[in-house]
Amino acid sequence: MGLSFVFLAFFFCQLVCSSSILVCPKHQSISLVKFKETLNVDPSASPRCYPKTNSWNTSRDCCLWDGVICDEMTGHVIELDLSCSQLVGTIDSNSSLFQLTHLQRLNLSWNEFRGCHISPEFGRFSSLTHLDFLNSNFSGQIPSEISRLSRLEFFRLSPSSRTDLRLAAHDFKLLLQNLTQLRELHLTSVNISSTIPLNFSSHLTTLKLGGTGLYGIIAESIFHLPNLETLYLSSNYQLSGSFPKTKWNSSASLMKLDLSRVNFSDNLPESLGYLTSLNSLSLTNCNLRGLIPESLSNLTRIQSLFLQDNSLNGTIPSWMFSLPSLRRLFLSNNHFSGQLEEFKTSSLEEIILGSNQLQGHVPKSIQNVVNLTGLDLSNNNFSGNVDVSLFSNLKNLLGVVLSNNKISLINENKGSFTWPESLNVLLLAACEVKEWEFLRSAKYLWELDLSNNKLQGRIPDWAWSNWLSLITLDISNNMLTSIDSIPLLTIDTIDLRSNLLQGSLPIPPNSTRNFLISDNNLSEEIPSSICNSTSLFMLDLGRNNLKGAIPQCLGTITTLEVLDMRHNNLSGNLPTTFSNGSSLRSLNLHGNKLEGKIPQSLANCKELQVLDLGDNHLVDTFPMWLGALPKLKVLSLRANKFHGSIQPSTMETIFPELQIIDLSQNAFSGNLPASLFQHLKGMRTIDPSKEAPRYRGDTYYKDSITVTTKGLVREIVRILYLYTAVDLSSNKFGGQIPSIMGDLIALHVLNLSHNGLQGRIPPSFGDLSSVESLDLSGNQLSGEIPQQLVSLTSLSFLNLSHNHLRGCIPQGPQSHTFESNSYEGNDGLRGFPVSKSCGDDQVSDTNDTISGPDDEESDSEYWSDFWKAALMGYGSGLCIGLSILYFMLSTGNPKWLVRIIEDLEHNIMMRRRKKQREQRNNRRRNNHF
């Protein structure tokens, strides 16, 4: 566009300039030359442009220079078009540009003024009607002087990329107020952060305010601007609005409307049917619901309809496929249901209907949509056979996405079928594909997804010569049995997970970044030529039978972010060569036969987040030095031969991000590492705003780890970033449980079982408000169960069995979910669920706990006080009743329950006071005697 404008301008100049005799005033050409000299020409800034200023030569009249237009009568420069001129630099306030005071049109678009502020001097061009800074990347605050340009009709500022170009809310209002002649205003991506003012010029035909940070409610008057043709307000995430219910404007002039990602929370209005000139409508992700109104069938000129990412429902009306001009139909990610009718318009180019609840057959009439470039029907309930011949006549087809339906892809008349040469993307996950032959003719594919199909045996040899342009190949979840090599020179991602592949590990081409071949039957050693793939970013070899040592060189591939070799037969030492600058984020070697120590060079892997060395034969002491890794979230050393005590660290911060530490089934001894628990910032704060970190290749690989929770061994996938666990079970730890462990309030799982721990359960455990699974079984713990544990409302698994606990089992909201085996094998626990009731001596037991040495840590909080009172005043029968009530209260919180519980509490308090009075009186009486 820029270029054609240039040519036009040039042509125009030739016409005008050659037909009149112009004399450019000398001071003007001096100004122009000076201006030229303050800027540089950098061809690399925009290679497709050319520098107009190169023709500026003082030996010629300046009115004949490229991009310069003079007034025919006076010779004054009235237009300067330097668009797309490879200019780089700054225009400051004493630039000679500002001496061209007669300028009416100034076009500096498509140049590179990054870091340069827009000078307030621009406000002095009082004759200016056109000012174009599109993609010229000025930065900083736009001066308020711009609003002096009261003759401006065309004002375009939109930067090409995110710069910090901003317009103060106040100046935005001023600008709209003063520029009463404005017809086009383009401020896309300028940071305005304001509400939308009301005083728009009634001449406006184009208003582009997308991504400007506007907030508040869109005044309906915008939709009624009498001459409006283009309105873009998309990507203002804090903006909401409602559609006009009546005619938008009397002339129905609107042609392009983009309100995507603005919150409407509404149905599509009937009134859209009035916009009969509309040729493009974008309402992506606007929180729309309900049916598509019939009135949209009036939009006979519409070419592009983007309604994806909403909650629209009902069937897709048949007239939608008859709109005579429609080219792009995007309805994906809504709740549309029912069957598709046949396509009656052949103008369609893109049909994007993925992620709905559509069903029935894929319409055969697709073969008549001759200009079709993209078809996405994925993630619906389409069924029946789809013959590939449907696509053979669609010569422009770029992508076909049929994944995850209930269809079977078939190829009836075998030999004669060919894919259009244009086809680049073919995604056929779970399409019952059984044979390869129909893919023989697909020679220009970039992306091929055949996952979850019924492919067997080996990939045919022709594939390697026909699929040379492949970038992503996914054949996971099939029944492939062998693969020799993968001679595809440009491939980036190969996914062969969950097949039946045997033999040795195939080496991916050196272009490969993601290679996933886990869950197969590969055996033999890992060849060190795997390290020839120097671009590797993700290597997933888990769940095979690979044996021998891990190639040393793997530690030296600095691009590698994920190395997963879990559940193989690997032996020998870990690589010792992890290099500085390593990108390693996840290292999973769980379930092998690795020996020796953890290599110190792992300290070079500053990006490491997940380290799982569990279930090996490692022999080492606790690697406190790993605490220096700033991002480590998961450390599992379970089931090895680690030993010794965990010594206090001299480091200031250790394991600042750690969320999961699993040291279970080793031979650690000594006291529990209180000094470690003092750190662990990641377990001491609950941050609900925490979001899953995103990585390249995330769509393929999901971190996962095996943890024991709620008495079961499970694999936790993906939620790692939210999950916190400490598992120190089955070691030789002794001494008391440090009360500081109660500070790990973000913990979901705490397992200290099967050690030699002594003393009481710290009342501070009552602070572990997120804990779901607490296992202290198989220790030497004594005393009562602290009353504070009843406040653990998230607790769904509790095991205190096989200790020396005694006294009454505190009754709380969760108590009824625990069976008696949670408590078995103790010295003297009483009460539900072990025995029917906890007798009178319970009062003294409870008092004992309350006045025990640990009491200082326990706040007598409202609820625990309440439960104490409940225990004292009543037998356990009522407690259970109350705990159920409380449970309902904490979940549902109905008002009438609040009343009942308040009444009960009041009664209990009254009884308790009465009892205390009686006890006091008794004591007094006893003293008296």
Ligand X SMILES: *[C@@H]1O[C@H](CO)[C@@H](O)[C@H](O)[C@H]1NC(C)=O
Residues that bind ligand X (CB under 6 A): 147-148, 150, 174, 178, 270, 273-274, 289-290, 295, 298, 313-314, 346-347, 370-371, 507, 510, 529, 532, 534
355 sits in the region (left: phi over 0; alpha: psi -120 to 50; else beta) called left
Helix (H, G, I), strand (E, B) or coil at 840: coil
Q: Output phi, psi for 258, to 5 deg.
A: -130, 110
Minimum CB separation of residue 507 from ligand X in Å reads 6
- The sign of the dihedral angle between the CA atoms of 96, 102, 104, 105 is negative
Helix (H, G, I), strand (E, B) or coil at 892: coil
Q: Which residue, 357, 434, 351, is CA-closest to 388? A: 434
- The sign of the dihedral angle between the CA atoms of 776, 781, 782, 787 is negative
Would you say 274 or 642 has its CB closer to ligand X?
Answer: 274
Integer Cα distance of 228 and 604 in angstroms: 60
DSSP label of 110: S
Would you say 175 or 402 has its CB closer to ligand X?
Answer: 175
Minimum CB separation of residue 52 from ligand X in Å reads 31
Minimum CB separation of residue 529 from ligand X in Å reads 4
Minimum CB separation of residue 815 from ligand X in Å reads 41
| Exposure on the CB side of residue 410, measured as CA atoms within 13 A | 11
DSSP label of 847: H
Q: In the structure encoding, which two tokens stand for residue 436, read together?
A: 């390869």
Would you say 183 or 802 has its CB closer to ligand X?
Answer: 183
Minimum CB separation of residue 794 from ligand X in Å reads 33
Give the C-alpha distances (Å, rounded to integers) separating 134 from 151, 155, 159, 181.
Answer: 19, 9, 6, 20
Minimum CB separation of residue 105 from ligand X in Å reads 19
Angle (deg, nearest 10), helices 862-873 and 876-891: 150
How many angstroms from the chain centroid is the CA of residue 403? 22
DSSP element (H, E) containing 751: strand 749-751
Q: In the structure encoding, which two tokens stand for residue 96, read together?
A: 């000679």
Would you say 268 or 798 has its CB closer to ligand X?
Answer: 268
Minimum CB separation of residue 431 from ligand X in Å reads 27
Would you say 263 or 758 has its CB closer to ligand X?
Answer: 263
Integer Cα distance of 159 and 211 in angstroms: 11
Minimum CB separation of residue 571 from ligand X in Å reads 23
Helix (H, G, I), strand (E, B) or coil at 127: coil
Minimum CB separation of residue 372 from ligand X in Å reads 10
**DSSP assignments along 628-648, one per residue:** G-TT--EEE--SS--EEE-PP
Would you say 76 or 335 has its CB closer to ligand X?
Answer: 335
Minimum CB separation of residue 888 from ligand X in Å reads 30
Would you say 278 or 800 has its CB closer to ligand X?
Answer: 278
Would you say 343 or 578 has its CB closer to ligand X?
Answer: 343
Q: With beta carbons less than 8 A apart as the criterion, state whether 900 and 885 touch.
A: yes
Would you say 30 or 507 has its CB closer to ligand X?
Answer: 507
Omega of the bond prior to 197 within 30 degrees of 0, cis? Answer: no
Minimum CB separation of residue 531 from ligand X in Å reads 8
Minimum CB separation of residue 470 from ligand X in Å reads 16
Integer Cα distance of 762 and 741 in angstroms: 9
Would you say 153 or 662 has its CB closer to ligand X?
Answer: 153
To which residue do tokens 């691009």 refer? 559
| Chain position whose Cβ is nearest to ligand X | 273
DSSP element (H, E) containing 675: helix 674-677
DSSP element (H, E) containing 610: strand 610-612
Beta bridge partner(s), residue 786: none
Minimum CB separation of residue 509 from ligand X in Å reads 7
To which residue do tokens 């792992």 refer? 602
Minimum CB separation of residue 174 from ligand X in Å reads 5
Q: Output phi, psi for 172, to 5 deg.
A: -60, -45
- b/e sequence 817-839, b meaning 16+ C-beta within 10 Å: ebeeebbeebeebbbbbbeeebe
- The sign of the dihedral angle between the CA atoms of 135, 140, 142, 145 is negative
Would you say 41 or 299 has its CB closer to ligand X?
Answer: 299
Would you say 149 or 608 has its CB closer to ligand X?
Answer: 149
Would you say 226 or 314 has its CB closer to ligand X?
Answer: 314
Would you say 98 or 274 has its CB closer to ligand X?
Answer: 274
Burial of 485 (0-12, 13-18, 19+ CB in 10 A): exposed
